[in-house]
């Protein structure tokens, strides 16, 4: 391959080389003359946002058969959680804790997208989502670097397969390199200030996992990272990505991120911006044209050298070769299968079902007892909106096959049970209360009320951030009004983020967190409500009590003054004038309990699980050797169910302060009622390693603690010592 690329490079003119660096927008379902000319001249390396198969075929034909060197085009599109068939948002996919599900969702999306000629997606997003205000948490895999890495690697495998030359393989793009999730105040595009060790220990690991999985491309972040925007940040793009991770594929800027270097105030104009991005290691420019306009002069003046350009082109050509684009059959517009294949819809339903997190189930209200139920009240605009349940980033998503909760419930309940539906509000953000009375009346007359509430799609995704992540509109009042009827209440939450729900769920018997579940979301939710499946999703993010707690994540540092249950004081308990020191000196807020409302990793099922006999194979671990951790898992309930067994580690004394615990392994285990299974995990030195003060990944000798259980508060504990 390298010889092929070198040969091609040796035959390219400077203009053709610069052409490879440019990604341009498609012209919407036809090939505009200027675009055809540019492709023919070799002035375009990639097209973004063209989805019409006949147009893609024509463009690819011109590139391959009418340009001098016949270099194929990368055809890019944001295929984020499905193409035509929309799967749960990535945050929901993370809640499955099931990498196979994520891989399958990506595979099916790739099949649909490549069928129209797309060969490059801008996913997975691997940014660490610890601030629920940030709208893009919907597009990522939650708060934990390890979980994100596992899910991200699965998505890469699904998109690309282990043979990316296959005509149905889609190049993945790990984005956004790096630190975008730390946007201050959870406001999109805002500055990020990330200590260098945190950059490497928190934000980098998901990218390492994606590179190890063979991701073909990487996208820069829009953000200013400690004063140097990522798109001009050679430390990120050269030292870390190329040298430390060994990535040799293509780095693309984010949309217009190169000229935005000037908006950031790093460069004076487009010319300087092009120079800064090229020097930092951005190979291809998305959308804007500063490279095309300024690199010729910068080369002529000697400010950029040919070797730099050659390296950029080499990265791009490598990806085209790895994707087999020089030989890939051109797409046949007549052969594009209709969307909505039953197997794809069935997979979307399975993934959605696995993504549902049962947070509360008082008196075992769920699953609904269909033998005794006579009437159900269903409330909420989201219960019957085929579009909103798809969530953010659905450029090509279709609602034709969407199944809403209302439709699925009506079908499942049949004629024997009366189903009365009331919207309750015009949309979840509405502050109209006109619909409350009818919803209350419906609930009062029913055996059970199911409220489908939360956020509509517009409230999450890129540039869709919220300063207050509680339930929008008047939904809290709607819940209270319905609860007041005395009818048992189930709340299903659809949302693109972790909502702050303290107080909102008072009196609610059962709560099911459904994220934006995609096209088959309604069917999946009804599967769980009616007991056709036991819920098995687990939270990929801590759910805050109130917005003021965010960023909130379980893997925080210990601090010098950690709060304990004994040191916490609530302001409501403080009487009159009390001395300053009477509330103690530990790390907590006076107006909210310091824990999340529901912890990371949490989720119930319709059965119960017990953990017994945690054991480690050795009490000392030598470098280069491995250690086995085993635990017995028991299904102590009377239904089959799936538990997500989680292993957390802590390095209590280290040369850099370390998180109180960090997820290091997990496994989904399905157990029949009464069954017992031993679950084992193997740990090695590299699982104990972190990037130290000198930015070297190393495991430091000493004691390590580990916990195994069903969420981040797991109490079953063991320890061992790493010895030199």
Catalytic residue positions, numbered? 254
Q: How far is the CB of 57 from ligand BGC (least distance, A)?
A: 22
Tell me whether residue 247 or residue 255 sits nearer to ligand BGC (CB atom): 255
Total residues at the site for ligand BGC (CB under 6 A)? Answer: 6
Mutual orientation of helices 405-413 and 521-529 as an angle, nearest 10°?
40
| Cα–Cα distances in angstroms (integers) from residue 199 to residues 601, 628, 672, in the given order | 23, 30, 43
Q: Is residue 81 close enough to count as binding ligand BGC by CB under 6 A? A: no
Q: How far is the CB of 149 from ligand BGC (least distance, A)?
A: 19
- In this structure, is the dihedral angle defined by the CA atoms of residues 294, 300, 303 and 307, taken in order, positive or negative? positive
Tell me whether residue 58 or residue 220 sits nearer to ligand BGC (CB atom): 220
Q: How far is the CB of 204 from ligand BGC (least distance, A)?
A: 18
Q: Is residue 462 close enough to count as binding ligand BGC by CB under 6 A? A: yes
Q: Is residue 464 close enough to count as binding ligand BGC by CB under 6 A? A: no
Tell me whether residue 136 or residue 538 sits nearer to ligand BGC (CB atom): 136
Position of tokens 């539906």?
A: 421
Contact between residue 416 and residue 372 where contact means Cβ atoms under 8 Å apart:
no
Q: How far is the CB of 152 from ligand BGC (least distance, A)?
A: 14
Query: Could you give the CA distance from residue 531 to residue 606 in angstroms, rounded to a whole number?
Result: 8
Q: Is residue 122 close enough to count as binding ligand BGC by CB under 6 A? A: yes
Report the residue from 78, 112, 144, 687 that binds ligand BGC according to the rule CB under 6 A: 78
Residues 565-594, mask of contacts with ligand BGC (x by CB under 6 A): ------------------------------
Query: Could you give the CA distance from residue 453 to residue 443 in angstroms, rounded to a whole number?
Result: 15
Contact between residue 27 and residue 7 where contact means Cβ atoms under 8 Å apart:
no
Which residue number places its CB atom closest to ligand BGC?
Answer: 122
Residues 247-276 that bind ligand BGC (CB under 6 A): 254-255
Q: How far is the CB of 122 from ligand BGC (least distance, A)?
A: 3
Q: How far is the CB of 467 from ligand BGC (least distance, A)?
A: 21
Q: Is residue 175 close enough to count as binding ligand BGC by CB under 6 A? A: yes
Total residues belonging to the chain: 724
Tell me whether residue 231 or residue 339 sits nearer to ligand BGC (CB atom): 231
Query: Could you give the CA distance from residue 216 to residue 319 in angstroms, rounded to a whole number?
Result: 6
Position of tokens 């948490």?
A: 137
Tell me whether residue 288 or residue 642 sits nearer to ligand BGC (CB atom): 288
Tell me whether residue 175 or residue 516 sits nearer to ligand BGC (CB atom): 175
Residues 5-24, mask of contacts with ligand BGC (x by CB under 6 A): --------------------
Tell me whether residue 28 or residue 682 sits nearer to ligand BGC (CB atom): 28
Among candidate residues 284, 398, 336, the one with its CA nearest the CA of residue 57:
336
The full DSSP string for 21-40 is TEEEE--SSS--HHHHHHHH
Query: Could you give the CA distance from residue 489 to residue 509 in angstroms, rounded to a whole number?
Result: 6
Mutual orientation of helices 306-322 and 290-300 as an angle, nearest 10°?
140
The long-range contacts involving 686-692, CB below 8 angstroms and separated by at least 24 positions, are 687/649, 688/649, 688/651, 688/722, 690/201, 690/651, 690/654, 690/656, 690/658, 691/197, 691/200, 691/201, 691/204, 692/197, 692/655, 692/656
Q: How far is the CB of 678 from ligand BGC (least distance, A)?
A: 42
Residues 623-682 that bind ligand BGC (CB under 6 A): none
Binding site for ligand BGC (CB under 6 A): 78, 122, 175, 254-255, 462
């Amino acid at each position: 391959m390298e010889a092929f690329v070198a040969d091609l490079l040796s035959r390219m003119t400077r203009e053709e080389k610069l052409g490879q660096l440019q990604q341009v927008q498609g012209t919407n379902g036809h090939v505009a003359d200027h675009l055809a000319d540019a492709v023919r001249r070799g002035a375009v390396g990639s097209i973004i946002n063209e989805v019409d198969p006949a147009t893609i075929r024509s463009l690819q034909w011109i590139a391959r058969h009418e340009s001098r060197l016949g270099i194929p085009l990368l055809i890019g599109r944001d295929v984020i959680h499905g193409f035509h068939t929309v799967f749960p948002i990535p945050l929901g996919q993370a809640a499955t804790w099931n990498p196979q599900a994520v891989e399958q969702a990506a595979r099916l999306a790739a099949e649909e997208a490549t069928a129209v000629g797309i060969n490059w997606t801008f996913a997975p997003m691997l940014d660490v989502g610890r601030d629920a205000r940030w709208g893009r948490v919907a597009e990522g895999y939650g708060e934990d670097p390890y979980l994100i890495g596992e899910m991200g690697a699965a998505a890469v495998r699904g998109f690309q397969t282990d043979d990316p030359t296959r005509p149905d393989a889609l190049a993945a793009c790990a984005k956004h390199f790096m630190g975008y999730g730390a946007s201050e105040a959870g406001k999109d595009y805002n500055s990020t200030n990330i200590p260098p060790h945190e950059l490497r220990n928190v934000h980098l690991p998901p990218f390492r996992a994606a590179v190890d999985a063979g991701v073909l491309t990487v996208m820069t972040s829009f953000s200013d990272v400690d004063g140097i925007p990522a798109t001009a940040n050679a430390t990120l793009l050269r030292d870390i990505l190329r040298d430390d991770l060994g990535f040799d594929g293509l780095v693309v800027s984010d949309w217009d991120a190169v000229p935005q270097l000037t908006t950031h105030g790093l460069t004076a104009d487009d010319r300087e911006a092009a120079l800064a991005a090229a020097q930092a290691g951005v190979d291809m420019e998305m959308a804007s044209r500063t490279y095309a306009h300024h690199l010729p002069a910068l080369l002529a003046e000697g400010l950029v050298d040919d070797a730099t350009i050659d390296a950029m082109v080499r990265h791009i050509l490598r990806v085209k070769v790895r994707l087999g684009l020089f030989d890939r059959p051109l797409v046949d517009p007549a052969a594009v299968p209709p969307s909505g294949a039953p197997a794809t819809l069935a997979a979307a339903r399975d993934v959605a079902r696995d993504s549902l997190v049962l947070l509360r189930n008082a008196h075992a209200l769920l699953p609904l007892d269909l033998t005794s139920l006579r009437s159900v009240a269903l409330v909420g605009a989201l219960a019957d909106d085929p579009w909103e349940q798809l969530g953010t980033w659905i450029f090509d998503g279709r609602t034709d096959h969407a199944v809403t909760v209302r439709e699925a419930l009506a079908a499942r309940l049949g004629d024997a049970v009366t189903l009365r539906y009331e919207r309750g509000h015009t949309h979840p953000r509405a502050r109209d209360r006109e619909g409350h009375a009818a919803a209350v009346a419906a609930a009062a007359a029913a055996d059970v009320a199911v409220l489908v509430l939360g956020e509509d799609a517009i409230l999450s995704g890129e540039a869709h951030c919220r300063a207050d992540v509680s339930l929008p509109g008047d939904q809290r009042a709607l819940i209270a009004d319905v609860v007041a009827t005395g009818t048992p209440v189930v709340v299903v939450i659809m949302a693109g983020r972790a909502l702050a729900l303290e107080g909102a769920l008072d009196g609610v018997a059962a709560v099911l967190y459904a994220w934006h579940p995609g096209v088959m979301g309604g069917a999946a939710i009804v599967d769980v409500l009616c007991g056709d499946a036991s819920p098995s999703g687990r939270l990929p993010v801590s759910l805050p009590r109130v917005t003021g707690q965010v960023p909130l994540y379980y893997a925080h540092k210990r601090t010098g003054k950690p709060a304990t249950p004994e040191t916490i004081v609530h302001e409501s308990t403080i009487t009159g004038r009390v001395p300053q020191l009477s509330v103690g000196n530990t790390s907590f807020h006076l107006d909210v309990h310091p824990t999340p409302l529901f912890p990371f990793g949490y989720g119930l099922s319709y059965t119960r699980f017990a953990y017994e006999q945690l054991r480690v194979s050795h009490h000392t671990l030598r470098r280069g050797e491995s250690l086995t951790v085993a635990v017995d898992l028991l299904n102590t309930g009377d239904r089959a169910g799936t538990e997500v067994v989680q292993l957390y580690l802590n390095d209590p004394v280290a040369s850099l302060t370390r998180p109180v615990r960090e997820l290091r392994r997990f496994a989904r285990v399905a157990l029949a009622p009464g069954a017992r299974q031993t679950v084992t995990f193997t740990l090695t030195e590299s699982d104990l390693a972190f990037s130290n003060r000198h930015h070297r990944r190393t495991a430091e000798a000493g004691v390590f603690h580990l916990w195994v259980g069903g969420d981040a508060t797991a109490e079953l504990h063991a320890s061992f010592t790493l010895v030199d």
